[in-house]
């Protein structure tokens, strides 16, 4: 397996590069339970975003699994068409990868352990991508959805991907503060979306610009449910009690407009995992999770409508 993976390191000294290469090899060997087929290259770079752009173009649509911290990308898995199949490339920021080279005490140890976990998370993206490609290769290539599904299916697929990656990789986050940080950001995102939705809908009443309104709310809803999926992966993977994680946040969540969606996501993601991967035969496995997001849109203030495969929006106030 390792012999078939090309590792390219940019922006580091020769000594650092050799240590990183050795550490990456050791880590990959330790993930014997993961399906890492189709991983063809690992690139360590000073400019992650430009490297991803270089790898992708209009003909090679990328499907990226991304680990973010404070809106900064540490790593991305990019899927590219290859002959009649796919290949995957893992792109890593070199300042992040440097953390894999140091295991000391205090802050250095925290950075090292979080780096190990994030690398583990990315390896699970590769594993999960392989399972989805095996189950429905054509859908992974085209992503052609119509009507409401054009909005809800991509959300469901993003949420599943981040959920399962954190669920499986949670064993390397036992001592991490990441779940607590994610819970804080979830509550912030809930409050921000509620306030922004009200203000933007009021602005819409004047400007009548439905495209501007839906584009903005789509991005905010995606950020919220993706945040929730990250957290649910840890909650279920580590068997966490959210009240014990942060009792104030748990109360805020329960009384929020998002709580029903939170409950639905927990249920649907768990049920999907119970079938994963052997009973996954089509993208319809995402149907119930995708449908739950229709309710969320309505709670935010937009009702999703569909007529002969064409989606439209009705603005409502709550």
How much is the pLDDT for 69?
43
251-265 pLDDT tens trace: 999 999 999 999 999
Scored b (16 or more CB within 10 A) or e, 77-115 reads bbbbeeeeebebbbbbbbebbbbbeeeeeeeeeebbbbb
pTM of the shown model:
0.94
> Is 64 a residue whose pLDDT tops 70?
no
Spatial CA neighbour of 131 closest among 285, 311, 312, 296 = 285
How much is the pLDDT for 140?
85
How much is the pLDDT for 106?
64
Say which residue, 73 or 103, is predicted with more confidence.
Answer: 73
67-76 pLDDT tens trace: 444 445 889 9
pLDDT tier at 59 (50, 70, 90 boundaries)?
Answer: very low
> Is 60 a residue whose pLDDT tops 90?
no
Mean pLDDT on 145-151: 94
Residues 6 or more apart whose CB falls under 8 angstroms from that of 229 comprise 158, 159, 160, 162, 163, 166, 265, 269
Mean pLDDT of the chain: 91
How much is the pLDDT for 1?
56
204-233 pLDDT tens trace: 999 999 999 999 999 999 999 999 999 999
Instruction: Tell me phi and psi for residue 219, to 5 degrees.
Output: -65, -40
276-309 pLDDT tens trace: 999 999 999 999 999 999 999 999 999 999 999 9
What percentage of residues in the chain have a pLDDT greater than 70? 93
């Amino acid at each position: 397996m390792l012999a078939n993976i090309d590792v390219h390191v940019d922006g580091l000294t020769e000594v650092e590069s050799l240590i990183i290469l050795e550490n990456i090899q050791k880590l990959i060997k330790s993930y014997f339970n993961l399906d890492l087929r189709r991983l063809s290259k690992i690139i360590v770079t000073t400019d992650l975003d430009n490297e991803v752009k270089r790898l992708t173009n209009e003909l090679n649509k990328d499907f990226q699994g991304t680990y973010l911290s404070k809106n900064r990308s540490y790593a991305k898995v990019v899927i590219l068409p290859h002959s009649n199949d796919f290949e995957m490339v893992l792109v890593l920021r070199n300042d992040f990868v440097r953390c894999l080279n140091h295991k000391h005490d205090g802050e250095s140890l925290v950075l090292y352990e979080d780096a190990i976990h994030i690398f583990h998370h990315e390896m699970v993206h590769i594993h999960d991508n392989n399972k989805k490609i095996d189950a429905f290769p054509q859908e992974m290539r085209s992503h052609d959805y119509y009507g409401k599904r054009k909005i809800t299916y991509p959300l469901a697929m993003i949420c599943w991907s981040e959920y399962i990656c954190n669920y499986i990789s949670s064993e390397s986050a036992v001592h991490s503060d990441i779940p607590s940080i994610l819970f804080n950001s979830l509550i912030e995102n809930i409050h921000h979306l509620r306030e922004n939705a009200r203000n933007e809908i009021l602005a819409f009443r004047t400007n009548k610009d439905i495209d501007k309104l839906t584009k903005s709310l789509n991005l905010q809803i995606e950020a919220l449910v993706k945040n929730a999926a990250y957290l649910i992966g840890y909650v279920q993977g580590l068997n966490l009690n959210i009240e014990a994680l942060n009792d104030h946040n748990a109360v805020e969540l329960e009384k929020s407009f998002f709580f029903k969606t939170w409950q639905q996501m927990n249920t649907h993601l768990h049920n999907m995992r119970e079938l994963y991967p052997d009973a996954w035969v089509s993208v319809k496995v995402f149907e119930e999770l995708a449908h739950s997001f229709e309710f969320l849109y309505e709670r935010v203030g937009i009702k999703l409508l569909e007529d002969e495969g064409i989606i439209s929006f009705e603005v409502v106030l709550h």
